[in-house]
Structure 1
Amino acid sequence: MAKPNVVTKEELLQAAQQCLAENGIEKTTLKAVADRANVSQGTVFYHFRTKEQLMIELVQSLCDSSWRKQGHGSLEEALQAARERCGYDSAYHRLFFASMAASLSFQPNRGRLGSMIRQENGQLTGMLASRWEASPVDGIPMEHWGVLMNALIDGLAVQALLDEAFPKDAIFDALQRLLAFLTKEANR
């Protein structure tokens, strides 16, 4: 088995992200990442046995980085970060959704993506619970609101990826107005 040389796993993930942004998912291979990082393919293989493993590690890294940047920030900060990532040329969302689609038939990645989504749902639920005294709609438990919010944000990202003219700023403004309304209802 090849031993890693002076490159770290994080540096390989950065190289993979650059390959993805420049060449797309189809041309992002372990060899392309090795070339980009100026290391042997064996070094990349030491850290990532398959392209699927590389992709899921990259998604995890991007998700973790996004949440770390926000810290325990507000819902407004989370929405602003989602707005900034949302777009027709979003490398983040192309990677995320392509990995999600590929993971549906690759059980280890499927479980890991599910875990990431549950974590995001929990983060969003916590953000909403910190501003709402109770659920704004009878019969919808608080933990469902994080799931609904995450699905809404991911759905907006899909639409932005598919429609170059997607009015992201107007839509995110509308989402913020909806949240303001729900907050008023929750705190009545």
Structure 2
Amino acid sequence: MAKANVISKNDLIKYAKECLATNGIEKFTLRSVAEMAGVTQGTIYYHFRTKEQLLLAIVQDISKNSWAEISQKSNQYIISEAIESAKNRCSYDSYFHKLFSALLVSSFNNEKMRIQLGEIVSNENNTLTQNLSKFWSKSPIDGVSLETWGILLTAIVDGLALQALLQKDFPVEKTYEEVEQLFKGLSNLLYEKDE
């Protein structure tokens, strides 16, 4: 029996994530989300006009929630937590990165979607920059701003995720251990400069 048409957007996103994890992106439909949530398709359309809008909301929700969790950690653990979070989403079967990549390709022909994805990436860059500023008082390398570090680190994480999507044997553990060493080395540079 369908639930009353009173369901929050956040609850629908939660059901949509479950549906995506269960069915995969290939079989993801608004109808399957409605069935999982126990609501009518009209209820889904009330909150999300298109499948793409719902998929964008999922990407935005995952991104926002993962950074909210990381931002609550103490300063000394922010980098380690951010790396661990990125590593956990980096796999051959990562539905988050499959979804993000599929939306990215679709956005090349949909300017509104492209702008929305650009805003998600920009928010990730800004959040990473804010978290870096808690960890680093200034850039470890002269001439490279914390804002640029935020952009570069987002690009590194996204690039690693793309490689993992394409290569079953991508060395995720080794690569992320070395990314963490990179951050430690950069931090050491900063501390040496301050002495």
TM-score (norm 2): 0.87
Q: Deviations over 1:27-83 (max 9, x none)?
A: 211112112212111111111111111111111111111122223431211111111
What is the CA distance between 1:125 and its match in structure 2?
Answer: 1.6
Q: In 2, distance between residues paired with 1:72 and 1:120?
A: 16
CA separation in 1, counterparts of 2:131 and 2:11? 32
Aligned to 1:6: 6
Structure 2: tracts of 5 or more residues without a match: none
Asked whether the 8 Å contact 1:132–1:183 carries over to 2, the reply is yes
Letter of the 1:130 partner, please give it: K
Unpaired segments ≥5 residues, structure 1:
none
Aligned residues: 185
Whole-angstrom distance in 1 between the partners of 2:120 and 2:48: 19
Say which of 152, 156, 171 aligns to 1:152: 156
Structure 2 match to 1:26: 26
Match of 1:132 among 129, 136, 139: 136
Structure-2 residue corresponding to 1:48: 48
Contact 2:25 2:95 in 1 (8 A): no
Amino acid at match of 2:32: A
Matched, 1:94 2:98: yes
Shift of 1:12: 1.6
Q: Identical aligned pairs, as a percentage?
A: 42
CA contact (8 A) 2:87 2:176 kept: yes
TM-score (norm 1): 0.90
Shift of 1:136: 2.5
Contact 2:129 2:149 in 1 (8 A): yes
What secondary structure, in the 3-state scheme, does the structure 2 residue paired with 1:56 have?
Answer: helix
| Matched residue, 2:57 | 57
Counterpart amino acid of 1:165?
D
Residues 75 and 124, structure 1, Cα contact 8 Å, conserved in 2: no
Root-mean-square deviation (Å):
1.7
**Does the aligned pair in 1 maintain the 2:30–2:41 contact within 8 Å?**
yes
Provide runs of 4+ in structure 1 moved above 3 Å. Answer: none
Could you tell me whether the CA contact under 8 Å between 2:140 and 2:189 is conserved in 1? yes
The CA distance in 1 between the partners of 2:136 and 2:12, in whole Å, is 41
